[in-house]
Amino acid sequence: MENKELIELALEARKNSYSPYSGFKVGAALLCKNGRAFTGCNIENASFSPTCCAERTAFFKAVSEGEKEFDRIVIVGGKGDSEPSEFCTPCGVCRQVMNEFCNEDFIVIIAKNQNEFREYKLSEILPLSFGKKILNTKERL
Ligand code: THU
C-alpha cells in the first residue's frame, strides 16, 4: 500500500476520534507486513488516565487480530475538525508499544495531509530504547 493511501486511512480514522476533553483529534493507520491495514483513533475518558492514543488503538486492534509483523504507521493529529496544521509526533508510551512489536527499521510517518509528511525510523525517535532484548541478556550498557 502506498503512503498516500495509508495517510487517507489515518485521516478517515481521525474523524472517529473521541476527544471531548482535549479537542485534539488523532488518527493512525498501521500497515502490517502482509499488507493488512488497521486504523485507530484516540479515545479519551472522563477519568483522563484510561485515555488511549490513536497509535495504541491501531496496534492493539492488529495484535488482537493475530498480527505481529508491522511495516509502517501513519499518524495525523490536531485540534478540531479541520485538516491538521502541524505534525503530531507519537507520545512516549506509544513509541514504547511500537518498540514491543517492531524492530528499528519500522517506519513512523507523521502527516498533515497526503502531500505533506515526514518519515522516521523507530530507532531515530526512540534511541536507547528499553525492550525485550534487555530483559533476555546479561550484558550491560
Ligand atoms: N494523542 C494521541 O492519540 N497520540 C499521540 O501520540 C499523542 C496524543 C491523544 C491523546 C489525547 O486524547 C490527545 O491526543 C491529547 O493529548
Instruction: Say how many Å lie between the CA of residue 42 and the centre of ligand 1.
Output: 6
Q: pTM for the complete prediction?
A: 0.95
Q: What ligand 1 atom has the least distance to the C-alpha of 43? A: 12
Going by C-alpha positions, the residue among 77, 79, 80, 66 that lies closest to residue 38 is 66
Catalytic residue among 2, 5, 8, 55: 55
55 is catalytic: yes
In whole angstroms, give the CA distance from residue 123 to residue 25. 26
Per-residue tens of pLDDT for the chain, all 141 residues:
999 999 999 999 999 999 999 999 999 999 999 999 999 999 999 999 999 999 999 999 999 999 999 999 999 999 999 999 999 999 999 999 999 999 999 999 999 999 999 999 999 999 999 999 999 766 555
Substitution site in 26, 45, 86 for ligand 1 pocket (most atoms within 8 Å of beta carbon): 26
